[in-house]
Structure 1
Amino acid sequence: MLATRRVLVVDDEEGMRATLAANLELEGYEVVEARDGAHALALARQQRFELVLSDVKMPGLNGVETFRELKRIQPGLTVVLMTAFAIEKLIEEGIGEGAYAVVYKPFSMEHLVRIVARALESRPVLVVDDLPDVAEMIVAGLRAAGLRAEAAYDGYTAIQRARDEAVDVCVLDLVMPALDGVKTYEELRRMSKQIRVIAMTGHARSEMIHAFTSRGGYACLHKPFDVRELMHAIARARSDPGSC
């Protein structure tokens, strides 16, 4: 139950920290506050947390360094990063090491609360490609970075998986036999407007890519791509207000 879910809020600005804590407590979460990274690590050694919400720019340990150490203390911990600054190198490091999402200040509390709720649901990234080796390679890369990911090898299986188990983000090959990526995407969106879909392709026609994006598809990556590029697209999709 929500009341048993403990969230750690890490921010050196006392006013922001108190506002975040108050809003999360109204949603039924148990909230613990940390004034900086060192304080957060000390708390993590004393008690378990389901999620950490941490500012990136802080004195002493920054948010990404804190995130890195927290994951050593509590492997599998879900972390959402917040920032008011365009600190691209730090943000890239955080995403590459498995941060669930990066939220840019100022943000609405309603938006943040929705991201926290989604993050705590631990829904997987579903990778769909008719070439099993490709799908499994992508899944392995995402899992190595700490993301929960599963594979499907055709559109029909992807749709059934989404029916049986809620999917957070779907990474979908556009060119597949039987049911192509555009048709699979349309069915996924009919099932749930909350599923964010990222297309990938090595040789899709431009009209197919246009059909996907014009129907609301989030992004299209061209193969071959680095897993970190995909992780950035996933983090952006999770952070986008339209994905919540």
Structure 2
Amino acid sequence: MNLIPKRRVLIADDEPGMRTTLADILADSGYDVRTAQDGQDAITKCQNEDYDVVLMDVRMPVVDGISAFREIRRSSQHVRVILMSAYGEDEMKHAALQDGAIAFLDKPLNLDTVIQLVADSTELAVMAITADQTLLQTLPQCLHSSGQKLTVVHNRDEAVTLLRQVSFDVALIDVELGTNDGLACYLALREISPTITAVMISRSDQPVRRIAEEAVRRTAYTIVPKPIEPERLAEVMQTLRAQRVSGAIRKPHLGEPHDS
């Protein structure tokens, strides 16, 4: 007998056909599925029952999906909310991802992506480049606990060699890499893999900080300060994962929470 409870999914969409289609697909995949016809219905259901994942249309009557998402998140931080929209709403997308949505998907939906997200199998493949003993101890604990796949190398040459053989989504680059500083490492990795997203790890004192800022100026994603705070790194990785899935990468401005 299987005593493991099914993951519970709520689908909120004012289009009956969409609700039924998604509910049938996810139920066939083994999930316990409920539906809501508008934002207020979704809020009420989440207040009365626990859900693991909410699939939420943005444009709905009574209460729109963005307002419902924020209300649900206030009382249920653990719920993974995936927003959906048939309209190009880039600013709304960026704001929702920053507020903690797992993804913001464009309609018509890619059903494989939906199933992957609901299954929580969207962890990032992360390469960390550092010789710092403190980071070598801290990073695996930070990332493994949040479901990220981490590979550690110690210098630019090792990173370049590995990236020529294995694809990575994110590079965590320690700015202080001896003669091969973090900026040179970042530029070398970007040349091999233009789609890799770089997060620079830096002390706050100059000139180390200036190297990290130059990397961000050249399209690195952001800076995470030393000493690493696990909660801050987890926040950066969660936002980055959602942005990559949704195709909406937007670098935080230096000075925003990810960098302060």
8 A contact 2:19–2:35 mirrored in 1? yes
- Letter aligned with residue 38 of structure 2: D
Instruction: Give the structure 2 partner of residue 168 of structure 1.
Output: 148
8 A contact 1:95–1:232 mirrored in 2? yes
Instruction: Give the structure 2 partner of residue 145 of structure 1.
Output: none
8 A contact 2:170–2:199 mirrored in 1? no
Distance 2:101 2:164 in 1: 25
Instruction: Give the structure 2 partner of residue 11 of structure 1.
Output: 13
Q: Which runs of 5+ in 2 are unaligned?
A: 176-180, 201-211, 214-221, 225-234, 248-260
Distance 1:106 1:42 in 2: 27
- Letter aligned with residue 43 of structure 2: L
2:28 to 26, 30, 49: 26
Distance 2:126 2:8 in 1: 27
Distance 2:64 2:161 in 1: 41
Partner SS state of residue 119, structure 2: helix
8 A contact 1:199–1:217 mirrored in 2? no
Q: CA deviation at 1:130?
A: 5.5
Q: CA deviation at 1:31?
A: 0.5
8 A contact 1:81–1:101 mirrored in 2? yes
Q: Which runs of 5+ in 1 are unaligned?
A: 133-151
Instruction: Give the structure 2 partner of residue 108 of structure 1.
Output: 110
Q: CA deviation at 1:67?
A: 0.8
Instruction: Give the structure 2 partner of residue 234 of structure 1.
Output: 241
Partner SS state of residue 117, structure 2: helix
Distance 2:141 2:74 in 1: 35
Q: Is residue 197 of structure 1 aligned with residue 170 of structure 2? A: yes
8 A contact 1:52–1:78 mirrored in 2? yes
8 A contact 2:58–2:64 mirrored in 1? yes
Partner SS state of residue 242, structure 2: helix
Distance 1:161 1:221 in 2: 15
Distance 1:35 1:182 in 2: 54
8 A contact 2:93–2:104 mirrored in 1? yes
Distance change (3 Å), C-alpha of 1:96 and 1:48: same
Higher alpha-carbon Rg? 2
Partner SS state of residue 53, structure 1: strand
Distance 1:96 1:129 in 2: 26
* CA distances 1:194-225 after superposition (whole Å, capped 9, x unpaired): x6325567664457424345247532357454
- Letter aligned with residue 65 of structure 1: S
Q: CA deviation at 1:62?
A: 1.9
When the two structures are superposed, what TM-score results if normalisation uses the length of structure 2?
A: 0.62
Distance change (3 Å), C-alpha of 1:90 and 1:180: same
Q: Is residue 74 of structure 1 aligned with residue 50 of structure 2? A: no
- Letter aligned with residue 26 of structure 1: D
8 A contact 2:127–2:171 mirrored in 1? no
Instruction: Give the structure 1 partner of residue 89 of structure 2.
Output: 87
Sequence identity, in percent?
24
Partner SS state of residue 14, structure 2: coil
Distance change (3 Å), C-alpha of 1:230 and 1:74: closer
The Cα RMSD (Å) is 4.2
Partner SS state of residue 69, structure 1: helix
8 A contact 2:124–2:170 mirrored in 1? no
Distance change (3 Å), C-alpha of 1:88 and 1:126: same
8 A contact 2:125–2:170 mirrored in 1? no
Partner SS state of residue 10, structure 2: strand
Q: CA deviation at 1:79?
A: 0.9
- Single out whichever of 23-32 and 72-81 deviates more from structure 2: 72-81
Q: CA deviation at 1:30?
A: 0.6
8 A contact 1:182–1:211 mirrored in 2? no
Instruction: Give the structure 2 partner of residue 135 of structure 1.
Output: none
How many residue pairs match? The answer is 210
* CA distances 1:108-144 after superposition (whole Å, capped 9, x unpaired): 212210121126x8x6997958599xxxxxxxxxxxx
When the two structures are superposed, what TM-score results if normalisation uses the length of structure 1?
A: 0.66
